[in-house]
Structure 1
Amino acid sequence: MKTNLTPLNILLNTTHWTLQGKGGVGKSFVSTVFTQYVIERGYNAVCGDTDPVNSTFHRMTALNVMLVPITEGGTVVQRLFDPLFESILGTQDVSIVDNGSSTFLPMGKFISSNFILETMQEHGKQVFIHSIVTGGQAKDDTVTGLLSLIDLVKSSKTNAKIVVWQNEFLGIPEFHGKSLAEMPWIKNNSDIIQGIVTIADRNSDAYATDIRMMSEMHLTCREVMESDQFGLMAKSRIRRVFTDIYDELDRVFGLVQES
């Protein structure tokens, strides 16, 4: 997918962590889409998967995602996070980390108790935490996860930002007739919330089926376009999903058109 946008080094030396305590809401999908976006916009991406249970991000062979061991004997060991964050500090490339729901609380505790956000800022690293909010049965749980991340960033008093992903494939989140963007915990934290990226509900099971097949096969959008396992219509639908999300990300990160 070609673009007439120029990154202007906006994402250089940034790190992106996908965090959400509710499982099955699209964390790995967000990480894989964002990584492909970063690559399409001309950056190098360094990726890690800390999910000890469902290492979906790691299975994306084309993205060269490193599996980061953070457990011993089935137990999360906080000192095992050290190499991950040291490697993030050691690169100017865009780093992307996908964290599992089972390790959400240990990761949050490590970030807070070890002053990770403060350390990142001291070393000139801009942190973006990506979190998903959905509708349906998972709505309340995903909101709880997001609110805990807002508290984490606020308590750190750093320049870390949160990117909120509204995953409408699992239902459009509404709150007494109001949208996610209208909620006070979004509006009153504009200094923390980088923006909202919408994964739009297409009102068609064909889109959901295509995305599910692509995810189950651990393929990138480019690989789908080159595959003979997807028809022209399926490829068109998948391309549209990615193009629209990329446009959302361009808006959120302020990429501008070339003159």
Structure 2
Amino acid sequence: MKAANISLESSPTSETSNPPSIAGIPQKIEKRTNEIHLVLQGKGGVGKSFVATLLAEYFQDKFTDLRCYDTDPVNPTFSSYKAFGAKRMPIVVDGKLNEPAFDELLLELMDPGVSAVVDSGSTTFVALMRYLERQDAFKNLAKLGKQVVVHSIVVGGDAMAETAAGFARVVDTTPESTRIVLWLNQYRAPVALNGVPFTESDGYKAVQARVSSVIDMPESWGDLFDRDIQEMRQLRMSFNEAITGESRPGIGTPFNILQRQRFTLVQRDYFDKLWSFKV
């Protein structure tokens, strides 16, 4: 059944895309530039592409020149979202490194004024990290005036140890100039070991000074929220597309007003976190 054409009371990003007003006067956002956001984790199925799409949507109105890249040769989810125009980079072909593609990606990231969101696949994580180390890419990007931000995800449950190791690898191989944002994905289980939250563990405390922000991904928003978000992602729609029908002229959104309101609440929560942590 076609969704009723009812407008929500507020736009999906009205409270999250703009800074607070001063004396009732909205403050102008100055467009940002030269930021490289890498989503890095060696374990598949932990929410990398979800984080990449969140970042791409959040940054769309904040950067002067935003480019998106998908380096996953097996599950190129990020590039299947038309809203972000992510370019596929075949850095691994038939299980072998494609070094010219690595070079192409790095050269594009070095372009003056360019900002980017890069989604890495679990199968390319080790190869990409080795290439970045060998090329001294983080330091070279910093020398060109680029602020590099690495987003790493740690999940609860059986995959916690493996994702914690991936996070440790990121910390160990990036210079001090690189900002690290830790995402705690509690969808499967709390991110804790023997009842001790990951952020209170000795291992995390040893590297805590390197982490600029910690963003919680809740265990569940509720059955209806989870069902709707899963459907939205299966349709490869951004939050804005699901809420407003943006980029779908003549088609609009397939979701009803209650579903769109749920999307608005989830989007606002994540965008508020990104804003408050100055990501």
> Distance between the aligned counterparts of 2:207 and 2:76, measured in 1?
32
1:70 Cα offset (Å): 1.4
1:90: which partner in 2?
Answer: 111
- Residue identity matched to 1:209: R
The TM-score normalised by the length of structure 2 is 0.83
Per-residue CA deviation, residues 203-227 of structure 1 (Å, 9 max, x unaligned), is 5222221111111111011110124
2:235 to 195, 212, 217: 217
2:156: which partner in 1?
Answer: 135
2:14: which partner in 1?
Answer: 2
**Secondary structure of the residue that 2:43 maps to in structure 1?**
coil
1:245 Cα offset (Å): 0.7
Per-residue CA deviation, residues 118-173 of structure 1 (Å, 9 max, x unaligned), is 111121111111111111222111111101111111xxx44011111112223220
Aligned length: 251
RMSD over equivalenced CA pairs, Å: 2.0
Residues 87-126 of structure 1: pairs in structure 2 closer than 5 A = 87-126=108-147
2:168: which partner in 1?
Answer: 147
- Residue identity matched to 2:69: G
Flag the 1:9–1:142 CA change in 2: closer, same or farther, 3 A. Answer: farther
The TM-score normalised by the length of structure 1 is 0.89
Gaps of 5+ in 1: 255-259
Flag the 1:55–1:7 CA change in 2: closer, same or farther, 3 A. Answer: farther
Task: Check if 1:163 corresponds to 2:181.
Answer: yes
1:257: which partner in 2?
Answer: none
> Distance between the aligned counterparts of 1:42 and 1:97, measured in 2?
15
1:113 Cα offset (Å): 1.4
Per-residue CA deviation, residues 182-210 of structure 1 (Å, 9 max, x unaligned), is 23343333442111111223352222211
**Secondary structure of the residue that 2:182 maps to in structure 1?**
strand
> Distance between the aligned counterparts of 1:120 and 1:185, measured in 2?
28
> Distance between the aligned counterparts of 1:33 and 1:137, measured in 2?
25
**Secondary structure of the residue that 1:188 maps to in structure 2?**
helix
**Secondary structure of the residue that 2:123 maps to in structure 1?**
helix
- Residue identity matched to 2:171: I
1:33 to 54, 63, 66: 54
1:202: which partner in 2?
Answer: 220
Task: State the identity %.
Answer: 28
Flag the 1:9–1:76 CA change in 2: closer, same or farther, 3 A. Answer: farther
Flag the 1:188–1:7 CA change in 2: closer, same or farther, 3 A. Answer: farther
1:183: which partner in 2?
Answer: 201
- Residue identity matched to 1:87: E
**Secondary structure of the residue that 1:100 maps to in structure 2?**
coil
Flag the 1:118–1:41 CA change in 2: closer, same or farther, 3 A. Answer: closer
> Distance between the aligned counterparts of 2:208 and 2:31, measured in 1?
19
Bigger Rg, which one: 2
Task: Check if 1:240 corresponds to 2:252.
Answer: no
2:8: which partner in 1?
Answer: none
- Residue identity matched to 2:258: M
- Residue identity matched to 1:68: M
> Distance between the aligned counterparts of 1:235 and 1:219, measured in 2?
12
